Structure 1
Amino acid sequence: MSSSQDPKFKIKPYQQMTAAVTGAITTSLFMTPLDVVKTRIQAQQKLMLSNKCFLYCNGLMDHLCPCGPDMSNFKKTIHLNGTIDGLIKITRSEGLSALWSGLGPTLISALPSTVIYFVAYEQFKEFYMNLYKKYINNQLIDLRIPVYIPLISGASARVLAVTCVCPLELIRTKMQSEKLSYMQMNQALKSVIKIDGIFGLWTGLKPTIYRDVPFSAIYWTCYETIKAQFNVSEPTFGFSFFAGATAGSISAFITTPFDVIKTHQQIELGEKVFYTDKPAKSMKVSKSMANSIKELYISNGFSGLFAGLSPRIFKVAPACAIMIATFEYGKSFFYKYNKQHHNASSFDVINN
């Protein structure tokens, strides 16, 4: 048994939460500019947007923003030709701060989502691993985790996280669009429920699951497989950075078509939220995932399904690397803290 698996020094859930929060903040500061570029490149091919709003993610979760006059002019006159080109043009046109637009309110929603996701993954992995040990009567030949455990754990954690946060994100988006007070937010909430029922609060959940659940399943499977291949049970910061970047790149490539469609569908939803004077008949997107993929393929070809692939991988790889490396480092820190605290307590008991 690895020393990190010693139950005496087991990392507590609140310590996992602290490690996840640290990773989320660090990742957000570094990665928001790259995803701003990625989503704008994806949005360029969608003519129905009418330059009204755009969506980006800081490497942790989505953030839907209305376009002001400057943003509308930007989209009409400037075409982005890649990540570096986008960073330069956005900075010249709107200023350096535009690359971090909305970072504050995004973190307010991103932190709960990230904490739920990473802590849930650790708990699900431990739960499934215990079931596995019971199944084989604790006769472990080595420390390698069966490939299906991180796959199921990653998918389960992501479903839980997006399901919990989806209503909060919808309400936050509405508040930001109209600068609503908390009393007005209550009215907006009732309006959504009246139009689409209680499940209207989970508008946009399905396309999010289509993209994020496969990504999480693939990511954690790749990450744990890399650790197993190198026979690493307690990864260093550098190894976690490498393994996270590799796993993130593979997952991003496979799930890019779902990311493109999800961006389009959530922007369509955003236009209903931001620019409707009267309540819409429904807040739901007008097309299914399958129809959206078919339409996009017909209009833009195979390359249209992978629009923004380069900046997506360029963003996802380091985002995953920073997040998992910081998270693993935090876990290692708290494990050592627990060990020292336990030894100190034992020493005091012996002396007394």
Structure 2
Amino acid sequence: MFINNMDLSPVVKSFVAGCCSGTCSTLLFQPLDLVKTRLQVHVPLACTSGRIGMVSVANAVIRQENVLALWKGLVPSLSRCAPGVGIYFSSIHMLKTKFQSDQQRALESVVIGAVARTNAVVTLIPITVLKTRYESGLFDYKSIPRGLAHMYQTEGLRALFSGMAPTLIRDVPFSGIYLMFYTKFKAMINESRSTIYIKLHKCLLIIIYPSQSCIT
């Protein structure tokens, strides 16, 4: 409601709402992100059991440090996720206006989602690299600017963009596909119930008849 009352353009409103959404999700799920990173980089842990999993890693972090250590790397995560989600949703809104169609086709949704995610990834990949390093526990950067400066001075510009290609390969198709399905399901929900029932009936016929012919 507060955002709707503000005299802002729709693109800026999308960015602000995305930033707020990214902030909330980061605060909630930062412990899981930290545990995932520790598992991926194989940080040595003094676990009581022989097996290393999510629970044992979380327990080891709490035991060796404290509960708040599960939110280690929160500032880099917020610096990446909050504007990242904002850039993603504002890019989607801006690209939708470019297509200027009442009902998006599947390919349009894929392109919009892919381009929006590319914008977010390329813009914030240096922060992503810093966040991952900080969460691993192997690096002790005092602040985001100092961390970025240290990486650039010691490893060069390529270090700031390390892992960008795999990230794009993973995130871009995924974002395009889930925006396509989101758009399609949203359109279906907005239709009348009778139309949905007809479509579901047709889908069932398409599935059932070939299966019956295969059985017989």
TM value normalised by structure 1: 0.45
Letter in 2 for 1:214: P
Task: Confirm or deny that 1:167 pairs with 2:31.
Answer: yes
Identity %: 21
Rounded Cα–Cα distance in structure 2 between residues aligned with 1:247 and 1:301: 28
Partner of 1:191: 63
Rounded Cα–Cα distance in structure 1 between residues aligned with 2:129 and 2:149: 12
Partner of 1:340: 193
Can you give the 5+ residue segments of structure 1 that lack an aligned partner in the other structure?
1-126, 137-144, 272-284, 345-352
Q: CA deviation at 1:240?
A: 1.1
Distance 1:298 1:169, change over 3 A: closer
Letter in 1 for 2:193: Q
Distance 1:128 1:233, change over 3 A: farther
Letter in 1 for 2:182: F
Partner of 1:131: 5
Rounded Cα–Cα distance in structure 2 between residues aligned with 1:160 and 1:174: 22
Q: Deviations over 1:108-155 (max 9, x none)?
A: xxxxxxxxxxxxxxxxxxx466435xx69xxxxxxxx62211100111
Partner of 1:294: 149
TM value normalised by structure 2: 0.70
Instruction: From 214, 220, 227, give the equivalent of 2:89.
Output: 220
Rounded Cα–Cα distance in structure 1 between residues aligned with 2:54 and 2:159: 41
Alignment of 1:149-160 (within 5 A): 149-160=13-24
Rounded Cα–Cα distance in structure 2 between residues aligned with 1:299 and 1:186: 32
Rounded Cα–Cα distance in structure 2 between residues aligned with 1:263 and 1:286: 12
Equivalenced residues, count: 188
Partner of 2:164: 309
Q: CA deviation at 1:203?
A: 1.6
Letter in 1 for 2:154: S
Q: Deviations over 1:82-107 (max 9, x none)?
A: xxxxxxxxxxxxxxxxxxxxxxxxxx
Q: Deviations over 1:201-242 (max 9, x none)?
A: 312222211222222111111110010122245433221111
Can you give the 5+ residue segments of structure 2 that lack an aligned partner in the other structure?
198-216
Letter in 2 for 1:228: T
Rounded Cα–Cα distance in structure 1 between residues aligned with 2:76 and 2:158: 20
Letter in 2 for 1:191: R
Distance 1:233 1:213, change over 3 A: farther
Distance 1:239 1:186, change over 3 A: closer
Q: Deviations over 1:139-186 (max 9, x none)?
A: xxxxxx622111001111111111111234456778997547999789
Partner of 1:42: none
Rounded Cα–Cα distance in structure 2 between residues aligned with 1:234 and 1:254: 29
Higher RCO (CA < 8 A, seq sep 6+): 1
Instruction: From 153, 170, 179, give the equivalent of 1:324.
Output: 179
Q: Deviations over 1:254-293 (max 9, x none)?
A: 11111222222223x2x6xxxxxxxxxxxxx621222221
Rounded Cα–Cα distance in structure 1 between residues aligned with 2:52 and 2:156: 42
Q: CA deviation at 1:244?
A: 0.8
Letter in 2 for 1:226: L
The Cα RMSD (Å) is 3.5
Distance 1:329 1:183, change over 3 A: closer
Residues 73, 135 of structure 2: 8 Å contact kept = yes
Rounded Cα–Cα distance in structure 2 between residues aligned with 1:289 and 1:262: 9
Rounded Cα–Cα distance in structure 2 between residues aligned with 1:224 and 1:157: 16
